[in-house]
Chains A and B, each alone.
Chain A
Amino acid sequence: MSTPLLTIEDVAVELPTPRGNLRAVDHVNLSLEAGRTLGIVGESGCGKTMLSRAILQLLPKKAKLTGRVMFDGQDLVRLAPEGLRRLRARDLAVVFQDPMTSLNPVLTIGTQLMETIQEHLELDAPAARKRSIELLAAVGIPAPEQRLAQYPHQCSGGMRQRIAIAIALSCEPKLLIADEPTTALDVTIQAQILDLLAREQRRRHMAMIIITHDLGVVAGRADEVAVMYAGRVVERAPTQALFKRMHMPYTEALLAAIPKLETAPHTPLPAISGRPPDPTRPLRGCSFEPRCRYAAGRCYEAKPELKAAETPEHLYACFHPIQMAEGIGA
């Protein structure tokens, strides 16, 4: 095993709110090797976006971050702002969820691409322009030269997300974090964008973190999956192993909540009832206990720690793990 490109060590994020401190990310440990893909899955409010912002050092000013984010041998948490700035785009890039809000409405697409390139690579304006056109072509934008002079509102949502991806790829980053890159898009566009990300990742040999609420998104695309719940990683495994034998009831519930083709019409979806616990008032026991159908005994008293299952790569945090003999396809 080579040294990982990214190691998240004991990262916790607290946000002050009028109702007390909110623990958005609760002591998370993860690692990712160069060229590999990690999927982070969980429902809204489980802390996956806050975790990505913690890696990117883009947390709100008031947020308190503890732990270490080791990237390429440096701790991003303790890196000086100027050092961090030089690292961005070149080494560490991001694609946000909503392309309708992540591009600046008053600057042309050309400006937003070229400024990134010229900030980090030693290229003059014509060279940066040429590179921008190549990038737009690579992400599947027709007539890329004309697009440079246009503004974001002149492009469709899918087009804008492609442009955001072109910006993220512009300086050949080592790690790309895609934070729900398809949630805001039409279903027909989603697969195209995911395939584009996967293709560019292979071509450029980048590491990638895909954050999503949809286990189906990571199924065929991630090497490893981390399931988050209430700010904690509750199950983590190589993708194959996870789908074959999931141990955490929450993972199972997430998978069951995906609509399937075989299901007869008008069958209610087995949605996870209830809501995640109030993060300003942590529970004494397991945070999934109020919604878990297996909860009993110790679940009300103590928090289960992450522990290894059959293989050391497969970790789960549950007192009553489910053991599935057969995997169900997603």
Chain B
Amino acid sequence: MLNFVVRRLLAILPVLLAVSLLTFLIASLLPGDLAYVILGDQATPENVAALRRDMGLDQPLWWRYLSWLGHVLQGDLGRSFRTGQTVLQAVSERIPVSLELMLMAESIGLLIGVPLAIACAARAGSAFDRFMTGSAFAMLSMPSFLLAILLIYLFAVELHWLPATGYVPFTEEPLANLRFFVLPALTLALAEWPGIMRVLRSDMIATLQEDYIALAKAKGLKPSRILFVHALKPSSLTLVTVTGINIGRLLGGTLIVESIFALPGIGRLLVGAIYTRDLVILQGVVLLVACGFVIVNFIVDMLYAVLDPRIRHGHA
């Protein structure tokens, strides 16, 4: 098992390197000279040239990449030339919001999707199964802004149960914080559960055809044990993958939901940086989010090994 972990860790190093190169290139290859952006349209060619020299923009691309990477490896992701904030400061302000939203949304999504998937797979082809699969399909095709508006209308405007928009940090007012997160998390979760359900349902249906399930029945085990112990575990590999991808995606922020519910998350930070051409922030945030994604996938790989002993022992 330790061997497996080390192998996987070594395998993500080149991925992280590629991620850093790509994020650097994206920011560097965007049209427009950073020096002009900073100095504005009143800039003289001399000023621009001087600033370019100061910022190292006159150096060749590979040299700029290596020096940037060197700083990144020392924990220095750069500083916004607009706000003076470092990338790490900006991200650490926003990441709790995105993290909390992601955790709540994904938990709600799993709580809805997993039991429904099991219930549908156990009665595949029944009226209940067909109704739920149809509903999941309908939910999948509903855009999140529409869902958000419907939820706000129902729970905030009509019922007055929850606030429509706003945010307070959890450390200041935990309860109010949670109330602010319910609607945005629900909006995201309602888009998450259909995918979760469909993936797990079809894997479960395939697993339930296996010989070892027939044997489990022949052993006279309780139906619940057959479903939850014998069928769920071998069926959950794709579910884990999908959940990992969802988490990675939500880590990068959810612009529409953050905007509608006025949550200061990573999504809005990124879009703000794009609008203001704040390339240092953009580059740094994209790099951190991408690293987060890679780490989540590493955890997914580890979970595979936990779920399936054949992967752990290098058999499959």
Contact = CB atoms under 8 A, between A and B. Distances in A.
Interface in B218-267: 218-222, 225, 229-230, 233-234
B309 A103 contact: no
Interface string A34-52: 0000000000000000000
A58 B214 contact: yes
A92 to B, nearest CB: 8
A105 B214 contact: no
A106 B230 CA distance: 8
Contacts of A58: 214, 217-218
Given A96-B215, A101-B212, A105-B212, A153 B220 contact: no
Provide the main secondary structure of the chain B interface: helix
B225 to A, nearest CB: 7
Interface stretch (A19-27, A114-122, A205-213): A114-122
B210 interface: yes
A104 B214 contact: no
Nearest to B123: A61
B307 interface: yes
Interface string B299-316: 000000001111001010
A52 to B, nearest CB: 11
A4 to B, nearest CB: 21
A90 B220 CA distance: 9
A135 interface: no
B216 interface: yes
Given A96-B214, A103-B215, A154 B220 contact: no
A92 B215 CA distance: 12
Interface stretch (A63-71, A81-89, A286-294): A81-89
Contact of A106 (B219, B222, B233, B315): B233
B211 interface: yes
Nearest to B125: A61
A11 interface: no
Contacts, number: 76
Nearest to A94: B218
B310 A151 contact: yes
Nearest to B218: A94
A153 B230 contact: no
A139 to B, nearest CB: 16
Contacts of B315: 153
A152 to B, nearest CB: 9
B212 A119 contact: no
A164 B215 contact: yes
Contacts of B233: 106-107
A56 B212 contact: no
A103 B212 contact: yes
Given A98-B211, A105-B308, A106-B307, A89 B220 contact: yes
Interface in B184-199: none
Contacts of B216: 104
Contacts of A87: 220
Contact of A102 (B211, B221, B222): B211
A6 interface: no
A98 B212 CA distance: 10
A107 B229 contact: yes
A101 B234 CA distance: 13
A92 B217 CA distance: 12
A96 B217 contact: no
A297 B290 CA distance: 79
A153 B211 CA distance: 15
Given A86-B220, A96-B211, A116-B221, A104 B310 contact: no
Interface string A156-167: 000000001001
Given A58-B218, A107-B229, A115-B221, A102 B309 contact: no
A86 B218 CA distance: 10
Given A85-B220, A88-B220, A106 B215 contact: no
Question: Which of A89, A104, A119, A167 has the most chain B CB atoms closer than 10 A to its own CB?
Answer: A104
Nearest to A101: B211
Contacts of A153: 309-310, 313, 315
A96 B234 CA distance: 20
Given A101-B210, A104-B234, A119 B310 contact: no
Given A88-B219, A90-B220, A154-B313, 20 more contacts: A58-B217, A88-B217, A89-B220, A92-B218, A96-B211, A96-B214, A96-B215, A101-B212, A102-B215, A103-B212, A106-B307, A107-B230, A107-B233, A115-B219, A115-B225, A116-B220, A120-B220, A151-B309, A153-B309, A167-B219
